Amino acid sequence: LSLSEFDVIAKYFSRARASGTGVVFGIGDDAAIIRPRNGIELVVSADVLNENVHFPANTPARAIGHKALAVNLSDIAAMGAEPFCFTVTLSLPTIDEAWLGDFSTGLFEIADSYGVELIGGDTVRGPLSVAIQIIGQVAPGMALRRSGARNGDKIYVSGTLGDGAAALELLNTGSTVPVGLQSKLDFPQPRTELGRQLLGLATSCIDISDGVLADLNHILAASEVSGFVDVDKLPLSDELAQLDLPGKQGLVLAGGDDYELCFTVPEDRVHQLESISRELGCRLTCIGEIAVGSGLQLRQFGKIIAGKPVTGFDHFPD
């Protein structure tokens, strides 16, 4: 006998809760009750993952659970906020208990490791889709915005770029995917600790979900500045560097699925990044600089190179 909607919620999504987390009442009423810390600002974001759009149909359920929350945590990271709580709206074609078990395992593994609590959601029948809304907390006026980059600031990225996009490309062409790249695609680790350390240090920040060029372009537009990106300085993982893959640079620049942070720092503050990088064990790489004007230009070994028009992933291309 198949479980009802309410059995599904009780069996897979309701858990005993820690007290003192700021969640006054979570799952089980018409709405959750939350109490932010005194004098804090809330940041709110939502992201949906649809089968065959955001993940291939055969993606393991544990990876879907992880990634659905990871992409939302990445937005919280980009604001420099501390993750607080989230809701899950689940559309399921059928009640598949093996799938639900693996999905909720992946979801709660990452929720626990980032200290963020599930407070509610909705469960409906339909094509497979996972929509998460997340709430974070940040000191008033301190949230990192896209709009603060200034002439002369250095442009940085965390971690390495292109791994997830390369994994997807290999999957789509039926090739073997190196384990490190597969895990970057399925189990991205959003940079919430880094985001919080960048408060008062970075002048702008965005998370890289659509490719570094497209996302950096959002910073340039919001800040009304231009930027140079040094393509010879882009950080690649050893696995991606060793891979013989046509169009690799395009994937690194515009492939998406990185969930790293791209941020700008005034030159006289960049020395502060070294200890942050060491403490977090997170590579931080200067990939270019901000200038006056508008637009983005690519450089290689210091010389401007003609680039294709910069576009990232777009759900509704012309």
Chain residues binding ligand ADP by CB under 6 A are 9, 13, 27-30, 88, 90, 118, 120-123
Return the number of the residue (115 or 247) whose C-beta is nearest ligand ADP: 115
Give whichever of 122 and 279 is closer to Mg ion, judged by the CB atom: 122
The item of Mg ion, ligand ADP, none sharing an interface with residue 9, based on CB under 5 to 8 Å by kind, is ligand ADP
Minimum CB distance to Mg ion, residue 189 (Å): 31
Does 122 bind Mg ion (CB under 5 A)? Our answer is: yes
Strand partners of residue 228:
289, 297
State in angstroms the smallest separation of the CB of 12 from Mg ion: 15
Let me know the angle formed at the C-alpha of 12 by 32 and 61, rounded to the nearest 5 degrees: 115
Q: Shortest approach of Mg ion to residue 87 CB, angstroms?
A: 11
Q: Which stretch binds Mg ion (CB under 5 A): 85-93, 117-125, 227-235, 305-313?
A: 117-125
> Cβ closer to ligand ADP: 18 or 306?
18
Residue 14 one-letter amino acid:
S
Min. distance of Cβ 35 from ligand ADP in angstroms?
17
Q: How far apart are CA 144 and CA 169, in angstroms?
A: 32
Q: Note whether 124 binds Mg ion by CB under 5 A.
A: no
Indicate the residue among 122 and 224 with the shorter CB distance to Mg ion.
122
Out of Mg ion, ligand ADP, none, what residue 149 binds, judged by CB under 5 to 8 A for its kind, is none
Nearer to ligand ADP, 17 or 150 (CB): 17
Nearest distance, CB of residue 213 and ligand ADP, angstroms? 36
Q: How far is the CB of 257 from ligand ADP (least distance, A)?
A: 24
Q: How far is the CB of 50 from ligand ADP (least distance, A)?
A: 16
Residue number, 8 or 110, with CB nearest to Mg ion: 8
Q: Which is nearer to Mg ion, 122 or 274 (CB)?
A: 122
Which positions touch Mg ion (CB under 5 A)?
122
